[in-house]
Structure 1
Amino acid sequence: MRRLVLVSCLMLAACAQQPPRDDSLYQSLGGQPGITRIVEGMLLNIADDPRIVAHFREIDIERLRDKLVEQFCVEAGGPCRYTGDSMEESHKGLALTPSDFNALVEDLQLAMEREGVPVTAQNRLLARLAPMRGQVIDR
């Protein structure tokens, strides 16, 4: 019994020492509703973007929207869990170029601007998404 109490105390102490989750970016993006509006705005921008719209013609846009909302939420420090495929798997065989990736980023930036997201928050989100570039291009 004494051992169980000791283990329980150690587990509680470990939990208490964990730093609080930083959700400041999530909050700056407007939480779940704001992220949803940003993603939907980005998808509308893509639909009007002749540079990349063809890459999305055969895509289930509702599923894409849902997975992007999850992913952006996770990257922003929100209380979400990403349930989609890896970036490598999602983009396999698409032969996307750096120009394609840059066009999508521009469409995302425009959506964030239209939502009134502060530039510092935009840059923080883009910095968190940037490592995915290598997982997307030429897969």
Structure 2
Amino acid sequence: MQGKTLVLVALLLMLGCTAQPPASDRLYQELGGQPGITRIVEGMLLNVARDGRIRHYFANVDIARLRSLLIQKFCADAGGPCRYEGASMAESHRGLNLQPADFNALVEDLQLAMQREGIPERTQNALLARLAPQRGQVIRQ
């Protein structure tokens, strides 16, 4: 399942898609609304904490604040009623020298969290497609 999703993300990036405002809150609802997104973010952060590939990037991060911002971000990107109030992706990742493998590890941790929540693959792919255009703002900033 992860391979299919990574292929989808790569395809979207090759097509040079740009972030489009969500047309409806359907994805938000399919992710379980605010409670579902909260569980997904919390699961992803737990996965990151155990992920030796990338957990060092989060060593000096205020995890409670990051949790709150990620919930806002995913909610807004999924068409929910939230407004993201954090820094731009480019600004918040500047100077980290993140590589594609780092980005992919985080995507895998997010996918695992969604799988554990029983989110259907189609819905997972829809969220990843909304997040994929931000990849260029995160890597090597």
Q: Normalized against structure 1, the TM-score is what?
A: 0.85
- Specify which of 100, 103, 113 is matched with residue 101 of structure 1: 103
Structure 1 counterpart of 2:59: 57
Spell out, residue by residue over 1:106-127, the C-alpha distance to the aligned partner (whole angstroms, 9 max, x if none): 0000000000011110000000
Helix, strand or coil at the partner of 1:22: coil
2:134 & 2:60 partners in 1: Cα distance? Answer: 22
The structure showing larger relative contact order (alpha-carbon pairs under 8 Å, at least 6 residues apart) is 2
Helix, strand or coil at the partner of 2:56: helix
Q: Does 1:32 align with 2:1?
A: no
1:126 & 1:34 partners in 2: Cα distance? Answer: 16
1:73 & 1:98 partners in 2: Cα distance? Answer: 24
Structure 2 counterpart of 1:74: 76
What amino acid maps onto 2:41 in structure 1? V
Structure possessing the higher radius of gyration over alpha carbons: 1
Q: Does 1:86 align with 2:51?
A: no
Helix, strand or coil at the partner of 2:84: coil
- Report runs of 4+ in structure 1 exceeding 6 Å deviation: none
What amino acid maps onto 1:38 in structure 2? I
5+ residue gaps, structure 2, are 1-22
Give 1:76 shift.
0.4
Spell out, residue by residue over 1:84-126, the C-alpha distance to the aligned partner (whole angstroms, 9 max, x if none): 0000100010000000000000000000000001111000000
Structure 1 counterpart of 2:8: none
2:93 & 2:126 partners in 1: Cα distance? Answer: 24
Structure 1 counterpart of 2:43: 41
Aligned alpha-carbon RMSD (Å):
0.6
Structure 2 counterpart of 1:116: 118
What amino acid maps onto 2:79 in structure 1? G
Spell out, residue by residue over 1:19-54, the C-alpha distance to the aligned partner (whole angstroms, 9 max, x if none): xx5111000000000000000000000000000000
